Amino acid sequence: VDYQHVQVPFEITLWIMLASLAKIGFHLYNKLPSVVPESCLLVFVGLIMGGIIYGLNDKSPPVMDSDIFFLYLLPPIVLDAGYFMPSRPFFENIGTILLYAVVGTIWNVFGIGFSLYGICQVKSFQLQDVSLLHNLLFGSLIAAVDPVAVLAVFEEIHVNEKLHILVFGESLLNDAVTVVLYKLFRSFCEMPAIKTMDVLAGVGKFFVVGIGGILVGLAFGMISAFTTRFTKTIRVIEPLFVFLYSYLSYLTAEMFHLSGIVAIIACAMGMKRYVEANISLKSHTTIKYFMKMWSSVSDTLIFIFLGVSTIGENHEWNWPYIFFTVIFCLIWRALGVLVLTFFVNRFHVNTVTGKDQFIIAYGGLRGAICFSLVFLLPEFHRKKLFIAATTVVILFTVFVQGMTIRPLVDLLDVKKKRESAPTVGEQIHIRFLDHLLAGIEDISGHWGQYYWKDKLEYFNSKYLQKFLLREYDQPKSSIVLLYEKLERKHAIELAEAGQLGHAPSPPPLLHSAFPCSNSHRSVTTDGKPEDILNPDVLENIQEILARNLFRIRRTVPAYNRHTLPGETEPAEQAKEILILRHRSL
């Protein structure tokens, strides 16, 4: 037997296999996942595994290597999060999210750091050798909400979209703050004296790390979109580029000490739209499927490793320090959310309610990022205490908060995610209001979110699309495509009901397909609205309407200063529909 030779890939494969089998195991019993979140079960499996390894070898099981975590396990999860990020609620709440992520995290870091330093001054706790700087360093790693943990728990409780994006967006974007503060305090710990300049440089660094990450990500995203322009003859490697470029953006950002998480999210959000238009449908399925699969395996491995790494002799136990760490984490987060939301609500009509605030504060779960950071700390005599405190905080948030948050959401009657997609009517009205507001903002000279969105769309269609999309020269009218799709669906239904050619067929769906609001009416007045208005079709209709309404608004004489009336597009659309109509008669 030559085990040495195959050891590395063999053990990696076995770990992934264990993770996958554990996942299958939980889902075999349908009741289990509805009571206990999967993350708790996985940590539990990890604890058992760790116990077995510890018992057999009589030495601590291997802890999760921080490099493996940051280089291999974290990127797939963040990529998945960025690629499937609902962009509308994200950009609508970007101000609030940034406030929570930046100011909130700084607040937590200093709050926890200083109050723990206060605890260290109590003589009977025997903690006087922990300096203020070490406490702040510890605060910087324990303060950040963890995207992996948040995602694992919030995916199962289905709170409303806004609440979800607030917590989840914060957990992703606070990475820039965490990176800066953690590295800053770590370098301060090693410096003999700290000058004011260093502190100021730290503040400046934050902008470099965050904005640099965004720029790196967007650059790679654009290159990726551009590359997929040329894959028409070799479809089979298309999915590869999405993974390669986003991973490269992460690694490049890490290499320059920028925020890798921010970079990969910017890359994924930037490229998605163009890549999807360029690649084939099968490549798209593969990308979606593989991304979900990969992130789900990474996620599983992280929680199992968290459990395994908990067992062992890495811990120094000090009741007061650990107890107060948990308490301060809870208190400072709650206070931070209260204060920040107070300011947010003063400037917004659509306020964050008290219940929402409670869930935001309570959903501040800590996870594997803290855990990896604490192991990356330079060696000093109280490192094991920090490891113990971090482990307890993570287990507390994952088990206690993770398991009680669902009952609490039910108890408080927090607004849930709506089960049904918004109706076509709602969708049209939302779009209409968007355009109206963009126009009002344009006239009044107010540079608000609608103004910028409109400008971005204009820039996109005028320059980016021509450069990044392969088939921009031959735009297909998606309303015509929808019509064909609905007709086809209808025909299939008829065929399945066996009525093809027997029953008098209902009139074709599209009497006067243009303008679009009519298309909606003709769908609802059709003989079998309940069949056609199922969620799938609705979603498609909305997507298509969303795209077309934009195009129409831009091409008819509008408040926009950049376009002249009388562009050709509507005429072409009408012509296409006429041709189709003609063919069908």
| Complex with its own copies: residue 186 or 382, whichever CB lies closer | 186
* Helices assigned H by DSSP within 311-350: 319-347
Q: Helices 368-375 and 281-310: crossing angle, nearest 10°?
A: 60
Q: With binding defined as CB under 8 A, does residue 579 bind its own copies?
A: no
Q: How far apart are CA 83 and CA 31, in angstroms?
A: 30
Q: Which residues contact 142 (CB under 8 A, 6 or more apart)?
A: 112, 325, 329, 366, 370, 389, 390, 393
Instruction: Out of 491, 574, 578, 579, name the contact with its own copies by CB under 8 A.
Output: 491
Minimum CB–partner distance for residue 444 and its own copies (Å): 47
Q: With binding defined as CB under 8 A, does residue 456 bind its own copies?
A: no
CA 299 vs CA 43, 403, 475: distances in Å: 11, 18, 40
Q: With binding defined as CB under 8 A, does residue 16 bind its own copies?
A: yes
Instruction: Out of 200, 327, 492, 578, name the contact with its own copies by CB under 8 A.
Output: 492
Q: With binding defined as CB under 8 A, does residue 470 bind its own copies?
A: no
Instruction: Out of 290, 380, 399, 472, name the contact with its own copies by CB under 8 A.
Output: 290
Read off the DSSP letter of residue 382. T
Instruction: Out of 27, 429, 462, 511, name the contact with its own copies by CB under 8 A.
Output: 27
- Tokens 């694992």 correspond to 152
Minimum CB–partner distance for residue 175 and its own copies (Å): 16
Q: With binding defined as CB under 8 A, does residue 240 bind its own copies?
A: yes
| Complex with its own copies: residue 327 or 579, whichever CB lies closer | 579
Q: With binding defined as CB under 8 A, does residue 421 bind its own copies?
A: no
Q: Helices 402-412 and 354-362: crossing angle, nearest 10°?
A: 170
Q: How far apart are CA 227 and CA 330, in angstroms?
A: 47
DSSP 3-state of 33 = helix
| Complex with its own copies: residue 2 or 530, whichever CB lies closer | 2
Instruction: Out of 160, 286, 423, 461, name the contact with its own copies by CB under 8 A.
Output: 286
Instruction: Out of 157, 297, 409, 552, name the contact with its own copies by CB under 8 A.
Output: 297
Instruction: Out of 436, 495, 571, 579, name the contact with its own copies by CB under 8 A.
Output: 495
Q: How far apart are CA 27 and CA 417, in angstroms?
A: 23
Q: With binding defined as CB under 8 A, does residue 32 bind its own copies?
A: no
Instruction: Out of 254, 356, 454, 526, name the contact with its own copies by CB under 8 A.
Output: 254
Minimum CB–partner distance for residue 9 and its own copies (Å): 5
Instruction: Out of 196, 496, 561, 565, name the contact with its own copies by CB under 8 A.
Output: 496
Tokens representing residue 54 in the block = 């510890």
Q: What is the dihedral of CA 162, 163, 166, 171, to 10 degrees?
A: -140
Asked whether the CA dihedral 100, 105, 108, 110 is positive or negative, the reply is: negative
| Complex with its own copies: residue 416 or 581, whichever CB lies closer | 581
- Binding letters toward its own copies, positions 202-221, x by CB under 8 A: --------------------
- Binding letters toward its own copies, positions 520-559, x by CB under 8 A: ----------------------------------------
Binding residues among 35-94 for its own copies as defined by CB under 8 A: 67, 71-72
465: left (phi over 0), alpha (psi -120 to 50) or beta: alpha
416 forms bridges with which residues in the sheet? 159
Minimum CB–partner distance for residue 8 and its own copies (Å): 8
Q: With binding defined as CB under 8 A, does residue 278 bind its own copies?
A: no
What are the phi and psi torsion angles at 159 (to 5°)? -75, 170
| Piece in contact with its own copies (CB under 8 A), picked from 238-246, 348-356, 443-451, 567-575 | 238-246
Instruction: Out of 195, 504, 530, 561, name the contact with its own copies by CB under 8 A.
Output: 504
| Piece in contact with its own copies (CB under 8 A), picked from 7-15, 104-112, 331-339, 515-523 | 7-15
Minimum CB–partner distance for residue 293 and its own copies (Å): 5
Q: How far apart are CA 490 and CA 59, in angstroms?
A: 66
| Complex with its own copies: residue 234 or 349, whichever CB lies closer | 234
Q: With binding defined as CB under 8 A, does residue 248 bind its own copies?
A: yes
DSSP 3-state of 34 = helix
Q: Please state whether the peptide bond connecting residue 515 to the residue before it is cis, i.e. omega within 30 degrees of 0.
A: yes
| Residue 162, H or E segment | helix 161-190
Instruction: Out of 193, 349, 564, 585, name the contact with its own copies by CB under 8 A.
Output: 585
- Tokens 């002249």 correspond to 564
Instruction: Out of 124, 196, 233, 568, name the contact with its own copies by CB under 8 A.
Output: 233
Minimum CB–partner distance for residue 336 and its own copies (Å): 32
CA 130 vs CA 111, 114, 127, 189: distances in Å: 16, 12, 6, 12
On whether the CB atoms of residues 412 and 160 are closer than 8 A, the answer is: no
Minimum CB–partner distance for residue 557 and its own copies (Å): 35
Q: How far is Cα of residue 141 from the mean position of the Cα atoms in its chain?
A: 21
Q: How far apart are CA 178 and CA 372, in angstroms?
A: 13
- Tokens 């921080």 correspond to 66
Q: How far apart are CA 488 and CA 496, in angstroms?
A: 12
Instruction: Out of 501, 564, 565, 568, name the contact with its own copies by CB under 8 A.
Output: 501
| Complex with its own copies: residue 112 or 151, whichever CB lies closer | 151
Q: With binding defined as CB under 8 A, does residue 378 bind its own copies?
A: no
Instruction: Out of 199, 203, 236, 430, name the contact with its own copies by CB under 8 A.
Output: 236
Q: With binding defined as CB under 8 A, does residue 309 bind its own copies?
A: no
Asked whether the CA dihedral 126, 130, 135, 137 is positive or negative, the reply is: negative
